[in-house]
């Protein structure tokens, strides 16, 4: 499967218009966009999830896509045009600055945005990309790998403030580290009492990893795709002909990139004392 979900050093991308890997398709369904809603894809490039969101909404509503690189934003617009999706508006803009602090003047639909402007937000965060494959060699330093957590928290804070009460925030990465996944969820639930962790549908991946202080019930609400869990080298392909759907789903989780998904709902307007 073509891999186009990332924001990582290893990302090559396919422009967002080709096949997606399994978790990248799942995460958009977990977001569950509805026709007529206003939705933000905060770190949108290369745009596969952006166009998928618009398609699931039947192109009814508004999908705002942000990315810092002009050539990637251009590609998102090209893909939207190619697929005949008119609900997508893509902007070259830094997601960490997407919150409008000056309440006096509106920007007429362009970033930055007023607080609590969106019904749903997807934060497919920049990450270390350690779930991507194939990757035969890694040249990243420990400093590079650990540099993503602060950036992810900045983006997450902006996302929470841009989300309306009752809205849905989905956080995802294509990496496998505890620091960028479960630790971020634990931090978010402490930093933002207005957020509640939610069950996900569909739930194809495994549960979250121990070590971040989350309860077993909370770990069950997370999705972690970890293809390293069970080797498939000795799998008899003929045996799959009579396999149950449940078994095929289980196998799908073992033959995809590493990926992580968490879903939150904002229960009330954020308080000034919150970060």
Domain boundaries, the chain: 22-266
Q: Is 67 annotated as a binding residue?
A: yes
pTM assigned to the model: 0.86
- For residue 182, give both structure tokens: 């479960």
Task: List, for residues 128-173, the tens digit of each pLDDT value.
Answer: 998 886 565 667 788 888 899 999 999 999 999 999 999 999 999 9
Q: Is 150 helix (H, G, I), strand (E, B) or coil?
A: helix
Residue 122 has pLDDT above 50, yes or no: yes
Counting Cβ atoms within 10 Å, is residue 239 exposed (0-12), middle (13-18) or buried (19+)?
exposed
Binding residue per annotation — 49? yes
Q: Is 174 a catalytic residue?
A: yes
**Is 32 marked within a binding site?**
no
44 is in an annotated binding site: yes
Exactly one of 174, 194, 256, 267 is catalytic; name it.
Answer: 174
Q: Is 128 helix (H, G, I), strand (E, B) or coil?
A: coil
> Which of the two residues, 172 and 239, has the higher pLDDT score?
172
Looking at residue 3, its pLDDT comes to 36
Q: What is the C-alpha to C-alpha distance for residues 13 and 5, in angstroms, rounded to an integer?
A: 7
Give helix then strand counts, H and E, for the chain. Answer: 8, 8
What are 67-89's pLDDT values in tens digits? 999 999 999 999 999 999 999 99
Q: What is the CATH number of domain 22-266?
A: 3.40.50.150
Rounded CA-CA distance 230/173 in Å is: 21
């Amino acid at each position: 499967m073509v891999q186009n979900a990332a924001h990582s050093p290893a990302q090559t991308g396919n422009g967002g218009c080709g096949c997606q890997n399994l978790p990248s398709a799942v995460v958009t369904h977990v977001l569950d966009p509805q026709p007529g809603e206003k939705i933000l894809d905060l770190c949108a490039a290369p745009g596969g999830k952006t166009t998928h969101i618009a398609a699931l909404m039947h192109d009814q509503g508004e999908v705002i896509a942000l990315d810092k690189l002009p050539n990637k934003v251009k590609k998102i617009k090209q893909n939207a045009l190619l697929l005949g999706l008119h609900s997508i508006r893509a902007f070259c803009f830094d997601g960490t600055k997407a919150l409008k602090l000056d309440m006096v003047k509106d920007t007429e639909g362009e970033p930055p945005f007023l607080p609590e402007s969106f019904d749903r937000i997807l934060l497919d965060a920049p990450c270390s990309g350690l779930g991507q494959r194939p990757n035969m060699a890694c040249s990243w330093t420990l400093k590079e790998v650990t540099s993503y957590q602060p950036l992810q928290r900045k983006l997450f804070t902006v996302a929470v403030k841009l989300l309306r009460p009752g809205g849905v925030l989905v956080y995802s990465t294509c990496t496998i580290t505890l620091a960028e996944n479960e630790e971020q969820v634990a931090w978010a639930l402490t930093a933002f009492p207005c957020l509640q962790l939610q069950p996900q549908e569909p739930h194809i991946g495994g549960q979250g990893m121990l070590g971040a202080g989350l309860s077993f019930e909370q770990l069950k609400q997370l999705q972690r795709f970890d293809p390293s869990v069970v080797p498939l080298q000795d799998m008899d392909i003929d045996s799959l002909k009579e396999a149950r759907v449940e078994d095929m789903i289980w196998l799908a989780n073992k033959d995809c990139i590493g990926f992580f998904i968490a879903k939150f709902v904002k229960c009330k307007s954020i308080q000034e004392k919150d970060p």
